[in-house]
Amino acid sequence: MDKTEPQVADNPEASRFEITVDGALAGFADYRLNGPRISFTHTEIDPAFEGRGLGSTLVRAALDAARDAGLSVLPFCPFVKRYIERHPDYLDLVPTDQRARFSLDGGKTAE
């Protein structure tokens, strides 16, 4: 029972963030860098690792890395888009003029 916490790392040579569990690749989030913007294009979790919340862990780490690098995010990947919808504290990463393109322009709730 010496399970380690999932690890997320950027693999710039492959243009993706990867999540590993006990040293095994469990999934990845592909991206394209274009100047100050990062476009997330596809996220995939190996079926053997599904149901553990690893997709959310992966996307959260990737979005945090984008924020730390000062990048704006274009969520072409439906999973990344849904994650931002469910976690509006990441909405600021999507440029205001791009939100309608991803149907993220109506996500603010009244407080």
pLDDT tens readout for residues 11-38: 999 999 999 999 999 999 999 999 999 9
**Alpha carbons 93 and 18: distance in angstroms, whole number:** 20
pTM of the predicted model, to two decimals?
A: 0.91
**Alpha carbons 1 and 101: distance in angstroms, whole number:** 46
**Alpha carbons 19 and 61: distance in angstroms, whole number:** 9
pLDDT for 2:
55
Burial of 63 (0-12, 13-18, 19+ CB in 10 A): buried
**Alpha carbons 7 and 5: distance in angstroms, whole number:** 6
Per-residue pLDDT tens digits for 49-83 = 999 999 999 999 999 999 999 999 999 999 999 99
- 9 bridge partner residues: 18
pLDDT for 105:
84
